[in-house]
Structure 1
């Protein structure tokens, strides 16, 4: 039986618990993410195909407070590149062009975080998230004429409309040049879920690696109903969704009587 218990002996230093670990902490973080624009009409007649789109949230700041070993409250400020690329396809499934939605937000999640004990530990996070749009564009690049099914009837975009067309922009100058260029909603809101690992590098410095999922409930566009002569589809509600891998480094300012040297020996 000893051979079955031997691996657990080596895990004991990592799983050893300490008491009264608490205090504020600050950190920096980055996130590589798969980003989506979810259309509420995507199960009806649609003339696009989702393309696997990756973006980067290059920099974020984390501030939190550990009430004890397990319970934390955390707020973040993260610059997040979002949006999605699509292939436009006609009624026969042939590619006729591309759509690109490019968005950059300042995301501010407020999270309750539960962590297990030990030098190496698991965490779970949940909370609301506010997004403030910094800049954004929606562009269609039509490569050839096409006939589509739109709202149950055939709709043709002729060869005279082939080219690159800006459909929405956060730049007022773009909207002044072309009355057909729409606006984006400045604010977004949703929920964020996360789970991952934390590891103590020192009694005060710890590394985090988390898998995160966020789904927002606000329409990305300001207009309620969208219909354009340069787009084969109409839209009522489109929302942001993100799945990301986050890595962070945090400094705990006050450990009280907590992180005993026994945990780090």
Structure 2
């Protein structure tokens, strides 16, 4: 047999040699834990104001640097999972006048501990798809809303033109009680938020007890970020607000460890 034929024979046999490895998967039952990190695009959605606004959204990216996952696999398809995620959220805006020219910037900077409770469905195999969804409660750790006005300008609100804030930096809200004591116009944030999380992605078994995940994850929260309602102070902000909510979408990656209780000895195999 010449060398070319021998090499072709080896390549033809390669898929059959790898097939047993590719067909291995986790035991179909048991608790698991993991750690995650997430790079995300964050938004503040103003439900009451879609037109006639004096701001423009800026593409804002933030990081959820650390998350802990704990869950239970009832079988190879069905999982219940809870997470604890430290998530940096908020958004940056350009403040614009009646001509659409930039007059300053708004920065909303928020840090939450997010706790989603997720039902997760996974397909089978060493590499598999997952889909997950469920409610999420969030606890605010840090938060500020700041306007930085660079020049005086004319704005429009509900068809009425007016002269907006003078140049300067305005702290509009803070979680820090000391900031609110220094300035009675500084507002506060709601410390709790409630919403829904949904995501989909891939999982890959490193071995029978360890798997990697890469998910597209999003969540939308229903609670106003600010405690105050009907915010309208033209001396500090050219816009008015009734209800603003968090919206986040990002790429989450993680590593997870399964405590097998399926057969107790070896990975389950799937046809």
Give runs of aligned pairs for residues 180-195 of structure 1, distance below 5 A.
180-195=185-200
* Corresponding residue of 2:103: 96
- With over 3 angstroms needed to count, the CA separation of the structure-2 counterparts of 1:257 and 1:141, relative to structure 1, is same
* Corresponding residue of 1:151: 158
Deviation at 1:262, TM superposition (A): 7.2
Runs of 5+ consecutive residues of structure 1 not aligned to the other structure: 1-5
Deviation at 1:199, TM superposition (A): 0.4
Q: Are 2:25 and 2:207, in contact at CA under 8 Å, matched by a contact in 1? A: no
Aligned to 1:39, which of 36, 40, 46?
A: 46
Aligned to 2:250, which of 237, 244, 249?
A: 244
Structure 1 range deviating more: 251-260 or 206-215? 251-260
* Corresponding residue of 1:3: none
- With over 3 angstroms needed to count, the CA separation of the structure-2 counterparts of 1:259 and 1:221, relative to structure 1, is farther
* Corresponding residue of 1:235: 241
Partner of 1:176, secondary structure, is: helix
Q: Give the whole-Å Cα distance in 2 for the aligned partners of 1:249 and 1:115.
A: 16
Deviations 1:156-184 (A, max 9, x none): 125xx211110000000000000110000
- With over 3 angstroms needed to count, the CA separation of the structure-2 counterparts of 1:147 and 1:10, relative to structure 1, is farther
* Aligned-residue RMSD, C-alpha: 2.2
Q: Give the whole-Å Cα distance in 1 for the aligned partners of 2:14 and 2:230.
A: 61
Aligned to 1:112, which of 119, 122, 129?
A: 119
Q: Give the whole-Å Cα distance in 2 for the aligned partners of 1:203 and 1:19.
A: 5
Runs of 5+ consecutive residues of structure 2 not aligned to the other structure: 1-12
Q: Give the whole-Å Cα distance in 2 for the aligned partners of 1:186 and 1:115.
A: 34
Q: Are 1:32 and 1:57, in contact at CA under 8 Å, matched by a contact in 2? A: yes
The reply on whether 1:168 has 2:176 as its aligned counterpart is no
Deviation at 1:150, TM superposition (A): 1.1
Larger radius of gyration: 2
Q: What TM-score, normalized to structure 1?
A: 0.91
